[in-house]
Amino acid sequence: MIDLQRVRADTPGVEHVAHFNNAGAALPPRQVHDAVVDHLQREAEIGGYEAAHERSERWERTYDALAQLIGAQRDEIAVVENATRAWDMAFYSFRFREGDRILTGHAEYASNWIALKQVADRTGASIEVVPDDEHGQFDVAALEELLDEHVKLVSLVHVPTQSGLVNPAAEVGRVTRTAGVPLLLDACQSAGQLPLDVDALGCDILSGTGRKFLRGPRGTGFLYVRRDLIEELEPPLLDMRAAEWQHDGGYTIRGDARRFENWETYVAGKIALGVAADYALELGLDQIWERDQALAERLRSGLDESTGITVLDQGATRGAIVTFQVAGRRAADVRTALAAEHVNVSVTEAESARLDLDGRGIDELVRASVHYFNTEQEVDRLVELVAA
Ligand SMILES: Cc1ncc(COP(=O)(O)O)c(C=O)c1O
């Protein structure tokens, strides 16, 4: 069980707001905040390079913590600026050609889609969208039908930005592994919310961000690439972190996942990302997941029972993201009214996830994303305020 009193005592933000925008950026624990401030302070005292050198074991720890979080090895982890850059560094490393097929799903995120489309337009590869099943989630049986030797990549969003569902990633991974097709898993909204194990999920590449359910600092993210795939993927951008300049004018690209990083980096953020991962590991991802699901279900059923509110979540398994509309009210007005009561929710517009939201005829929705440090009282108050 999560010790609610302790995690709230660790979270100064709960004194100010009832925060239901954890899918946007969660309230960080003070340990994360302190790690950033402390390192910035040290940089100011002795110099940025010197502070990084002095505290190298702190930022090196981040690779271990992230590896532990997802069941990987430290040399399979790259620490970058955000989930999009992580995803892009892997995706743009593939050499697609005319006739290649890339499969994605309705949950695909805007930035990923834009990259898919750019590459498809440039190379002549095609993008095909795997249909949803009866739960409104990625249809694994349909994927099986679509796979052939021309499919070069499957892109799956684990937990979409715009709906409560958790896609059946492990089932997808079983199918892609059997077919020998790499699975690129966007774990941006699942990292820190639920247990992840890259072997159990069967994914070859995984991208994540710091600031959402992991409660890390903004401007941090990470990439996992399975060891045997790393050397096959030549990053689209190389610098002197990723590669080494040789006497003959050539260069050699490093053999671990740090080939996807860049030389200059946000060291304070990198340290604090590791602190955030350690914080989640210490609480236990099973415990976090259990509480997040329970709070989200409480919120969904409260909203469902109120007149004029339509809960829009789909999926056989639902997580911490709760999406809804209020009859006769714009989503932004709902957000503004709640903000006046010191309650944070966010608005998702169709352009974040057109394959899903356009298909369902939804132009915007309110997104309330719970996390384990929220209380049942906060959830019930949110229901009352929305209903009112
Ligand atoms: C499903 C999903 N993927 C990717 C991203 C992009 O993450 P970042 O903003 O860290 O690049 C988001 C952000 O909201 C997301 O919800």
Q: How far apart are CA 370 and CA 299, in angstroms?
A: 9
pTM > 0.75: yes
At residue 254, the pLDDT reads: 98
Q: Return mean pLDDT, the chain.
A: 98
Share of the chain above pLDDT 70, in %: 100
Q: How far apart are CA 32 and CA 41, in angstroms?
A: 14
The protein residue whose alpha carbon is closest to atom 8 in ligand 1 is 83
Both structure tokens of 281 = 């590991």
Query: Three-state SS for 326?
Result: strand
At residue 383, the pLDDT reads: 98
What are the pLDDT digits (tens) for 91-140? Answer: 999 999 999 999 999 999 999 999 999 999 999 999 999 999 999 999 99
pLDDT band at 246 (very low <50, low <70, confident <90, very high): very high
At residue 351, the pLDDT reads: 96
The protein residue whose alpha carbon is closest to atom 14 in ligand 1 is 161
At residue 162, the pLDDT reads: 96
Q: Residues 387, 373: contact at Cβ < 8 Å? A: no
Q: Average of pLDDT values for 216-243? A: 98
pLDDT band at 31 (very low <50, low <70, confident <90, very high): very high
Query: Three-state SS for 199?
Result: helix
Q: Which residues line ligand 1 (CB under 6 A)?
A: 82-84, 109, 111, 157, 160-161, 186, 188-189, 209, 221
Q: Which residue has the tokens 């394959």?
A: 355
Q: Residues 120, 126: contact at Cβ < 8 Å? A: yes
* Cα torsion angle, 260, 262, 265, 267, sign: positive
Radius of gyration from C-alpha coordinates of the chain: 21
What are the pLDDT digits (tens) for 306-345? Answer: 999 999 999 999 999 999 999 999 999 999 999 999 999 9
At residue 45, the pLDDT reads: 98
Give the Å distance between the CA of 321 and the centre of ligand 1.
Answer: 14
At residue 106, the pLDDT reads: 98
At residue 207, the pLDDT reads: 98
Q: Residues 79, 66: contact at Cβ < 8 Å? A: yes
Q: Nearest to residue 157, comparing CAs of 23, 301, 311?
A: 23
Q: Residues 295, 370: contact at Cβ < 8 Å? A: yes
Complete DSSP assignment for 8-29: HHT-GGGGT-EE-BTTT-PPPP
Residue 83: enclosing H or E segment and its boundaries? helix 83-91
Both structure tokens of 180 = 């020998």
At residue 320, the pLDDT reads: 98
Q: Average of pLDDT values for 73-84? A: 98
